[in-house]
Amino acid sequence: MPAGDTEKLEERIESFTKDMKLGNQQGSYSVASNTVNLLVRIIAQTKWTSALDLMNIVKSEGKRLMSSQPSETVIGNMVRRILKIIREEYTSASRGTTEEEESQDSLHKLLLSEKQAEDFSSQTPTLKASVIEAVSELKSELETSAENISAQALEHIHANEVIMTCGKSKTVEEFLKNAAKQRKFQVIVVECAPFYYGQELALSLAKSGIETMVINDTAVFAIMSRVNKVIIGTHTVMANGGLKAINGSHAIALAAKHYSVPLIVCAAMFKLSPQYLCSYDQDAFNKFVSPHEVLPFSEGEILAKAQIHNPVFDYVPPELVTLFISNIGGNAPSYVYRLLSELYHPDDHDLDNSNNSH
């Protein structure tokens, strides 16, 4: 491969990390699909001889991409998905077994297969092509995920219901609009200060003919008794079924719990992360941005005397979530562990450790 190609690849990676650092990319879906595109290029353009080599390359490049924006868990999820794909393709190529058998392993079989650890070192000439093909399947899964979620809307939204939502989630927006095609219902949007994304969502819903009302964050509790269902989006689904969602979601979830209103979360599978909440601080979980939305810089003197924090996310514990709607159907939070084991290989949950073991 000519040197020019690797240079271009390097440039691509640079521009991706730059975009992530600056926060230029909006929406989990675009981050996910860009990550996958970049990883496909890495697989296609770098030199490797065995699956082990490839996995190490994907891991190290993946870690670099992840470190560009630690709070963006989707990047890590995609890296893990692709690692899992490589593992599967390698096993099927070396053993000649078909995929279906692999994915339907019983717990008993999984336990047994643990013993014969793979070393991923033998040569498999068809690996590259088959991995790239499998990744393109992953890509089409990403592309259709929003559609698949919104297709389930009619099962959850009934006529003349009052739905509460918050912030601006593209998935929820699609979901509601899809339901509105056949049913008539009312939507209450919580604006979510200090970013006020809720106002944008409300505008877009109202334009498509849904009866919409915007309320501020403090009115959530007062109005909750009138609500039939709360439907929100999320940034990440944590390994325990908890949410990392827009600031303000926790308060809504608590209010919903108090009034026993079901809380439904629309989230595509690529948002499922094998991470647990271990600390509320930025490192592990949150993202703190410039305080100017809370108090403008032109405020003057007071700024020197005040501590202003502007966290982006809230943690919503799994007890408060009634149902997840993903592209593969509805699931309870308690089932998330099973989805995790289907999507990711347990060795990949912590990329740092698994790297050391090899």
Partner 1 sequence: MAPNKNKSSGRASGEDLKQEDVLQAVVIADSFNVRFGPLTLKKPRALLPLVNVPLIDYTLNFLAAAGIQEVFVVCCHLADQIRTHLKNSKWSEVGSSMTVTPILSDGCMSVGDSLREIDSKSLIRSDFILITGDVVSNIAIQNIMDIHKKRREKDKSSLMTMVYKKAPIGHATRCHEDDIVLAVGTNTKRILHYQKTRQEKRLNIPADILLDHSDVQIHYELMDCQISICTPLVPQLYTDNFDYQTREDFVKGILINEEILGNTIHLHVIQDEYAARVSNLQMYDAVSKDIMKRWTFPVVPDQNYFSDKKHVSYGRHNIYKSQDVSLGRGCVLEENVFIGCNTSIGSNTHIIDSVIGDNCIIGDNVKIKGGYLWENVRVEDDCCIDTAVVASGVTIYRKTTVDVGSVLAWNVQVGPDVVLPPNVLLMSDKEKDEFADSEDEDGTDQPTEGTPEFGSKSKAFNYKACRDSDAEDDDDDVDEVMWRLKIHSDDESFDDDDSTILSDESDMLDGDFGDFGDLEDKDSAMFYSELIDTLKRAKEENIKSDNVILEINSLKHAYNISINDVNMSVVKAVLDLPLEKTNTADRSNLLNAFKNSLSEHRPLMLNYIKSSEAQIDCLKAVEELCINNEFVRKILGKLILHMYNEDYIEENNIFKWYSLDSPNQTDPFYNQIQTQVDPLIKWLKEAEEESSEED
SS3 content of the chain, % helix, strand, coil (to 5): 55, 10, 35
Distance (Å, rounded) from C-alpha 239 to C-alpha 314? 16
| Residue in 45, 49, 67, 144 binding partner 1, rule: CB under 8 A | 67
DSSP class of residue 190 equals E
> Contact letters (x/-) for partner 1, 222-251, by CB under 8 A?
------------------------------
Residue 161, Cβ density class (10 Å: 0-12 exposed, 13-18 middle, ≥19 buried): middle
Residue 16 Cβ vs partner 1, minimum distance, rounded to whole Å:
6
Sheet (strand 263-266) strand order: 211-215, 186-190, 162-166, 229-233, 263-266, 323-326, 329-331
Q: 125: helix, coil or strand?
A: coil
Q: For residue 69, give both structure tokens.
A: 């924006």
Residue 252 Cβ vs partner 1, minimum distance, rounded to whole Å:
24
26 binds partner 1 (CB under 8 A): no
| Residue in 114, 160, 297, 352 binding partner 1, rule: CB under 8 A | 297
Question: Do 216 and 191 form a contact (C-beta atoms < 8 A)?
Answer: yes
Angle between helices 170-180 and 197-207 (to 10 degrees): 20
| Residue in 103, 116, 160, 298 binding partner 1, rule: CB under 8 A | 298
| Residue in 292, 329, 335, 346 binding partner 1, rule: CB under 8 A | 292
Question: Do 220 and 336 form a contact (C-beta atoms < 8 A)?
Answer: no
Among the listed ranges 49-57, 165-173, 235-243, 296-304, the one in contact with partner 1 (CB under 8 A) is 296-304
> Contact letters (x/-) for partner 1, 35-64, by CB under 8 A?
--xx-x-----------------------x
Among the listed ranges 119-127, 150-158, 298-306, 322-330, the one in contact with partner 1 (CB under 8 A) is 298-306
Candidates 126, 121, 97, 75; CA nearest to 235 is 75
- Measured from the CB atom, the residue of 285 and 344 that comes closer to partner 1 is 285
Distance (Å, rounded) from C-alpha 9 to C-alpha 329? 37
DSSP string, 10-47: HHHHHHHHHHHHHT---SHHHHHHHHHHHHHHHHHHS-
| Residue in 33, 73, 234, 326 binding partner 1, rule: CB under 8 A | 33
- Measured from the CB atom, the residue of 52 and 289 that comes closer to partner 1 is 289
Distance (Å, rounded) from C-alpha 84 to C-alpha 320? 31
- Measured from the CB atom, the residue of 7 and 155 that comes closer to partner 1 is 7
Distance (Å, rounded) from C-alpha 226 to C-alpha 247? 23
- Measured from the CB atom, the residue of 307 and 357 that comes closer to partner 1 is 307
> Contact letters (x/-) for partner 1, 80-119, by CB under 8 A?
----------------------------------------
Bridge partners of 237, per DSSP, are: 243, 272
346 binds partner 1 (CB under 8 A): no
Residue 218 Cβ vs partner 1, minimum distance, rounded to whole Å:
24
Among the listed ranges 108-116, 304-312, 319-327, 329-337, the one in contact with partner 1 (CB under 8 A) is 304-312
Distance (Å, rounded) from C-alpha 66 to C-alpha 76? 6
353 binds partner 1 (CB under 8 A): no
Query: CB neighbours of 148 closer than 8 A, spacing ≥ 6?
Result: 327, 328
- Say how many residues make up the chain: 358
Residue 80 Cβ vs partner 1, minimum distance, rounded to whole Å:
20
Residue 334 Cβ vs partner 1, minimum distance, rounded to whole Å:
31
Among the listed ranges 27-35, 47-55, 109-117, 191-199, the one in contact with partner 1 (CB under 8 A) is 27-35
- Measured from the CB atom, the residue of 96 and 300 that comes closer to partner 1 is 300
- Residues near partner 1 (CB under 8 A) are 7-8, 10-18, 21-23, 25, 30, 33-34, 37-38, 40, 64, 67-70, 136, 139, 281-283, 288-293, 297-298, 300-301, 303-304, 307-310
